[in-house]
Amino acid sequence: MRALCLLCWAVLLNLVRACPEPCDCGEKYGFQIADCAYRDLEGVPPGFPANVTTLSLSANRLPGLPEGAFREVPLLQSLWLAHNEIRSVAIGALAPLSHLKSLDLSHNLLSEFAWSDLHNLSALQLLKMDSNELAFIPRDAFSSLSALRS
């Protein structure tokens, strides 16, 4: 019986991942939050619990967002990436985030963006992309964002 109990605990610990080392994770107002702001990060750290709904990576040194950067957090509703050094967002970086309601990419160095990823973000209500270096926005870039308010 004791061996079975130890096995159960091992399985549970593997299902509920800990927070990545440089971040703080917890619950606030019913949301699962991962706070990784102001950590001098140069990449999105791996190892987030799958139930994270709010992720702040603001004020770091992220140079870009690669494909699959947020694959671990499919329930994400808010993603804060302001004040980094992001120059490009690869196709597939944001596409898996179908529950995303708020996305802040402001105050970066964005010149390349995966506009096609926006078509998967039908729940998006707030999009901040000001203070970047975008030279071109496709005419239909926001056409599939029926919930977009700001």
Asked whether 92 and 115 are in contact (CB, 8 A), the reply is no
Which pTM does this prediction carry?
0.88
Q: Topology of 16-149 in CATH?
A: 3.80.10
Q: What is the pLDDT of residue 15?
A: 45
Outline where DSSP puts E strands in 73-149: 78-80, 88-89, 102-104, 126-128
139 CB neighbour count, 10 Å cutoff: 6
pLDDT (tens, 9 = 90+) of the chain, 150 residues, equals 554 443 344 334 444 568 999 999 999 988 999 999 999 999 999 999 999 999 999 999 999 999 999 999 999 999 999 999 999 999 999 999 999 999 999 999 999 999 999 999 999 999 999 999 999 999 999 999 999 999
Q: Which parts of the chain fold into alpha helices (H)?
A: 2-15
In the block, residue with structure tokens 């992720």: 55
